[in-house]
Amino acid sequence: MTESQRGGRAGGGNFGRGRSGGGDRRSGGSYGSGGRGPRREDQPRGGPYGQPPRFEQRPRFEPRDSEDRASSMPPVPPGKTARQVALATLLAAAYSNDYVNEHLEAEILRGVLPPIERPLAMELAFGVVRRKNTLDALLAAAVTRPRENVEPALWMLLRLGAYQLALCDGVADYAAISETVELGRWLGRDDWTGFANGCLRAVARLLTEQSIDGPTPFALPLTGSRYSRLSQPIFANPIGSAEGGLSYISKAFSLPHWIVERWSERFDFDELCRLGFWFNAPLPLCLRVNRLRTDRDTLLAKFAEAGITARAGELPTSIRLETPTRIDQLPGFAEGEFVVQDESAQQAAELLAPQPGETVLDLCAAPGTKTTHLAELMRNEGRLIATDSSESRLKLVPQNAERLGLTIIETAVVTLEGTDIPAGPFDAILIDAPCSNTGVLGKRPDARWRIQPDDLEELSRIQLLLLLAAAGRLKPGGRIVYSTCSIEPDENGSVVEAACHFRPKLKIVEQHELTPGQTADGGFQCLLRAEGS
């Protein structure tokens, strides 16, 4: 396939409701309105007027697509190749309804996978989850029987083969087909091999070496804003109708239709395509330098000496790795000189700006990446309490702190809605709230399929309760940073607006809406200050 870049498209079809370029995305209306217009002042906000909403149950974010659940998963032997490990991981995740990353390392360790094949196993497992809609569209055009007549485990095998054929650079067609077909025998299902071979050969015939300038029913999005031309149309026509554009984005870029429809109210068609490319691209790994142990120039020099390709990031403490590398094998890891953290996430602690000697609370702290950043900014002086509702994940906080040489961090388990957080009072509080993850769908591929429209209301209730609980523990003149990795107004500006309504002394100082891909992950960060008594 050629490297030609997609040319610019004039206009945005019938997506005129959105604003181009992801401009001002401040939410309208009041908390809980979901952008559907302002709420009257005499209308209750989730509970009796003047009272915050009550949280009634823990949210569950599960895939609703029953076709993805391997209800009768075949026995899976330990994997010895990247493809075997990838398929075992995908089946285990579908069968257990867990996240893929929760099974990948276990499957790697269960088998005898050579270290050199680990990157391919990771790409295949995460890639199949990320591009599920795209792969299903390709298979629908190639498979000769209805999907409901194909066993779920066999369909997953076909997805794995289609991903290698269509979206995995450097894999020859013959290898993708033959090695994937052999996975049927590996599972003890010789009866699958003929069918799988025919289906994958049909997928291969859909693909061409030609490039195409922009979205059409023939255009398959790759990476780097490139499109490959298919031999026949398999997507909806994105030009001429809003619904055609929504369908194209959903299937070609593999995003849930409801998310695309929701985003089309704020973004035009070109911006939706840009977001689709960003969320499907391999993202450079970003590090945060531990300034208590070293500086960026010194660490970059160590990497260069070890043959690691890296460059300075956008922030003074950030480094971007240019090639996939095992983190624990990098120079300086054992010495606690860096931690993995995206640049957008690094900005949250910087916005709070905790000072040495202060008493600081990190709510929703596990696994402790932002906690350790706060401790570094405090120069390891003062008191820092890290809380989380997950006891198992909270145990990771002291582990990370020990490697980084940080000693001021205490931990405490709290309820999900923060009703029992430490009394304080605190000079500063960071709330990295549980959210939909819609700003980080690239690095968390499962998230796009697990979150559902009705979950947003449930999440926004939790977020508001956490923010209100934190505000009650703040010293006069103290400050809070409310942060999410979501780009949904319901979880961001609307939550902050509601908190300020219920706590009139809480005032917004500044807030930032982080657009995915400009230049890092998407999200939201708001600095609030409590006025003095």
Residue-by-residue DSSP string for 317-378:
TEEEESS---GGGSTTTTTT-EEE--HHHHHHHHHH---TT-EEEEES-TT-HHHHHHHHHT
- Compute the distance between CA of residue 189 and CA of residue 220 in angstroms, rounded to an integer: 32
Alpha helices, DSSP H, located in 13-100:
82-96
Partners of 513 in beta bridges: 524
Tokens representing 412 are 């405490």
- Beta strands, E only, 450-522: 474-484, 506-514
3-state secondary structure 388-447: ECCHHHHCHHHHHHHHHCCCCEEEEECCCCCCCCCCCCEEEEEEECCCCCCCCCCCCCCH
Residue 311, H or E segment: strand 310-312
- Compute the distance between CA of residue 152 and CA of residue 166 in angstroms, rounded to an integer: 21
Q: Which of 460, 450, 461, 471 lies closest to 65 in space, CA to CA?
A: 450
**Angstrom distances, CA of residue 516 to CA of 135, 354, 432, 435:** 24, 26, 18, 15
Residue 257: CB partners within 8 Å, gap ≥ 6? 246, 247, 250
Residue 211, H or E segment: strand 207-212
Residues with a catalytic annotation lie at 485
Residue-by-residue DSSP string for 369-390:
HHHHHHHHHTTT-SEEEEEES-
Residue 527, H or E segment: strand 523-530
- Compute the distance between CA of residue 239 and CA of residue 56 in angstroms, rounded to an integer: 45
- Compute the distance between CA of residue 468 and CA of residue 186 in angstroms, rounded to an integer: 54
